[in-house]
């Protein structure tokens, strides 16, 4: 079983806001509990991008970098 070296606790909130012409717009936020960092998103694709940025993950890898390690 794979264990995480750097566990993360996240709070992800979703809500919908009315848009124009009966359109509903997705909104949300991701909070990284350990650091207090919070980012907001406006689509599912934006959620994925912001999540990777917040956790410093590189898509296509199976783990996050070690503390102090940077992604290219």
Contacts for 56 with CB less than 8 Å, ≥ 6 apart: 64, 65, 70, 71
Beta strands (DSSP E) in 1-72 are 10-18, 24-32, 38-41
Distance CA 71, CA 57 (A): 7
Full pLDDT tens readout for the chain, 72 residues: 455 566 788 999 999 887 777 777 889 999 988 888 899 999 889 999 998 888 776 555 554 444 444 333
Residue 6 tokens, joined: 């750097």
pTM of the model: 0.63
| Nearest C-alpha neighbor of 47 from the set 18, 15, 69, 8 | 15
């Amino acid at each position: 079983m794979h264990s995480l070296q750097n566990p993360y606790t996240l709070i992800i909130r979703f809500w919908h806001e009315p848009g124009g012409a009966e359109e509903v717009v997705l909104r949300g936020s991701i909070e990284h509990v350990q650091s207090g960092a919070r980012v907001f998103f406006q689509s599912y694709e934006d959620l994925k991008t912001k999540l990777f940025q917040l956790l410093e993950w590189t898509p296509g890898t199976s783990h996050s970098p070690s503390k102090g390690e940077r992604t290219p």
